[in-house]
Structure formats: C-alpha cells, structure tokens
Amino acid sequence: MKPLVHRRNALVKMKSALLQQFHDQIQYDYPSYKKFFTDMECKTSLAFFEQYPSSRTLKDATVEELAEFLRILSHNACSTKRAEKILDLIEADAVKERNYQSGIDFIVQSMMRNIRYILEELERIDKLQKKLLKEVGYQLETPTGVNTVTACALVGQIGDISRFKSAEVIPAKEKYVLKICWQPGRRCGKIDAFHSGWVLVVCTQS
C-alpha cells in the first residue's frame, strides 16, 4: 500500500507543478482564461487548451464550430452561450501574437497532455487502492471525512493494525497522530483535528 501512496503523492505534486506552469504561461495569451471554465482540470478545459493553446488558433473559428467542439467534450454541458462568451472575452482582450508563438503553443499543449495523463493515472491508482482497501478489511472509510485516499495513506503509515494488542498512540512519521483502540464486537471510527495533524480513533473487533 505504501508504494502506491508514494506514487500517488508524487503524481499529485507533478500535477500541481504543471498547473502552476500552465497558469503562468496562459495568462498572457488568454488574460480572461479563468472565466472560460469553472474547473480548469475538467476534460473539456484540458481539451480546449490543447486544441486552442492561444487566441491566434481561434482566429478563424466560428461560434458554431467552437460550440460543437465544446458540446462533444462536455456531453452537451457546454452550450453555444459558452462558446460566445469565450470568443467575446478573447475579442475584448485583443492580445497580440508573440514571437515564437508556435513554440509557446506547443508548450501549452504538452502541459495539457501531461496533466491529462496524470489524471488518468490517478484514477487508475484510486481504483486499485479501493480494491486493496477492501482486501485488508480495515473499513477505515467508515469515519466521516475519511475517503479512500486518506484511508490508504493511513494504512501505508501504520501497516498491519492487527499487530497492536492494546490501545496505543502511534507517533506519526509525517502529519498523523494515530490512536488505534480495540473494543470487542464493535467496528466504528472517529476523526478529530489535533494540532497540525489528525487523531484517528479506530474501533474494530478484537
């Protein structure tokens, strides 16, 4: 479990770095880009910026063409109004083409391809982690606020819970303080904030 957790963390860091590079790069070519889509990581947004990495690539596009492109990607969630809004914002910004624009466009497209790949890998890892979590049978997702990612991080941190014979407080190597306690016949859990980390109280069958 721990290697998967480390791999996932590494991918998340890579995605964050790429998104920051994207924001730094795209703000010149599309000053109003944040108004294009509410979620910059959605499939529609990634495909749009890969297809149209700068305003010059949309120079000859009509509202109908852009609307059709967005509708297919968003499964009809993006309408003609969204296409009109994007083109109006681009026209209002009136950005001039930069030197070596084709190279800059390629960089943006490369970022989009990389981000999409990372998102796909994260999805694969999440599915595998969910499967492995069921196999170990700890049911750490029972407490409110604990999802599959958090539960797997905890398992990766503490290892085999069954090796603890009594209630113990386990000092975390990173940001967690874990309290594992056994109560016969019960399987429940609770999470409370504790300074900069978390206190996890897990009750399971002895």
Q: How far apart are CA 121 and CA 17, in angstroms?
A: 16
Please tell me whether the overall predicted TM-score, pTM, comes out greater than 0.85 for this model. Answer: no
Q: How far apart are CA 185 and CA 206, in angstroms?
A: 7
- Cα-based distances in Å from 147 to 117, 126, 139, 150, 167: 23, 10, 10, 5, 23
> Are 105 and 161 found together in one domain?
no
* Count of the separate structural domains present in the chain: 2
Q: Which pLDDT value is given to residue 122?
A: 94
Q: How far apart are CA 166 and CA 31, in angstroms?
A: 59
For residue 89, is it within any domain? yes
For residue 139, is it within any domain? no
CATH of residue 9:
1.10.287
Phi and psi dihedrals of 111, rounded to 5?
Answer: -60, -45
End-to-end CA distance of the chain: 23
For residue 135, is it within any domain? no
State which residues form the domain around 188: 147-204
Share of the chain above pLDDT 70, in %: 71
> Are 77 and 44 found together in one domain?
yes
> Are 120 and 186 found together in one domain?
no
> Are 151 and 115 found together in one domain?
no
> Are 17 and 58 found together in one domain?
yes
Contact 144, 135 (CB under 8 A): no
pLDDT in tens, 158-202: 666 666 554 444 444 434 444 444 344 444 444 433 333 444 454
> Are 48 and 18 found together in one domain?
yes
